[in-house]
Amino acid sequence: MSVNNTPPVIQHDGNGVTKSFNYPFKILNGADLVAQVGNAILVYGVDYVVTGVGDDVGGQVIFVVAPVIGVANVTLFRQITFDRSTDYQYQGPLPSLVVNQDFDRLTMMLQQVGQDIKRSFKLPFATFTNQEINQASALRANKVILFDGDGNLNIGTDNYVDQTAAVAASAAAALASKQAAAGYASASQDAATASAGSANAAANSAQQSAASADTSAQNVLLAAKWATYLGGPVSGGEYSAKYWAGKAAEAASGDAINIKFTPDGNVFSTNVQAAIQELDTKKANVADLSAAIPVGMRGEFFTNTAPDNWIKANGGAIPVASYAVLAVVLYCGDANNATAAWGYRCTSAATPTTTRSTTGAYIVLPDARGEYSRGWDDGRGIDAGRSLWAWQAGQVLSHTHTASQAAHSHTVNLVGGGSGGALGISYMVDLFQGTTPTSAAQPAITVTATGGTENLVRGLAALVCIKYK
Alpha helices in 96-240 (DSSP H): 96-118, 137-140, 160-200, 206-228
Q: What percent of the chain has pLDDT over 70?
A: 73
Q: What is the pLDDT of residue 357?
A: 97
Region of poorest pLDDT, from 31-35, 85-89, 255-259, 437-441: 255-259
Q: Residue 384: which pLDDT band, with cuts at 50, 70 and 90?
A: confident
Q: Tell me the pLDDT band of 231, cut-offs 50, 70 and 90.
A: confident
% of the chain with per-residue pLDDT over 90: 33
- Place 38 in a pLDDT band, splitting at 50, 70 and 90: very high
pLDDT of res. 326: 95
Poorest-pLDDT segment among 102-111, 195-204, 377-386: 195-204
Predicted pLDDT of residue 98: 84
Average pLDDT score over residue span 176-189:
72
Which residues, at least 6 apart from 267, have a Cβ–Cβ distance to it below 8 Å? 259, 260, 261
Asked if the model's pLDDT at residue 468 lies above 70, the reply is yes
Q: Is the model's pLDDT at 196 over the cut of 70?
A: no
The DSSP code for 459 is -
Q: Judge whether 272 and 162 are in contact, CB under 8 Å.
A: no
What is the DSSP-derived secondary structure letter of residue 140?
A: H
- Of 140 and 425, the structure prediction assigns the larger pLDDT to 140
Q: What is the amino acid identity at position 90?
A: Y
Query: Please, what is the Cα angle at 123 between 122 and 128, to 5 degrees?
Result: 135
Taking the model in full, what pTM does it have?
A: 0.38
Query: Which positions ≥6 away from 160 have C-beta within 8 Å?
Result: 142, 143, 144, 255, 256, 272
First to last CA, the chain: 31
Contact residues for 391 (Cβ-Cβ < 8 A; gap 6+): 341, 342
User: By C-alpha distance, which of 261, 258, 262, 263 is closest to 276?
Assistant: 258
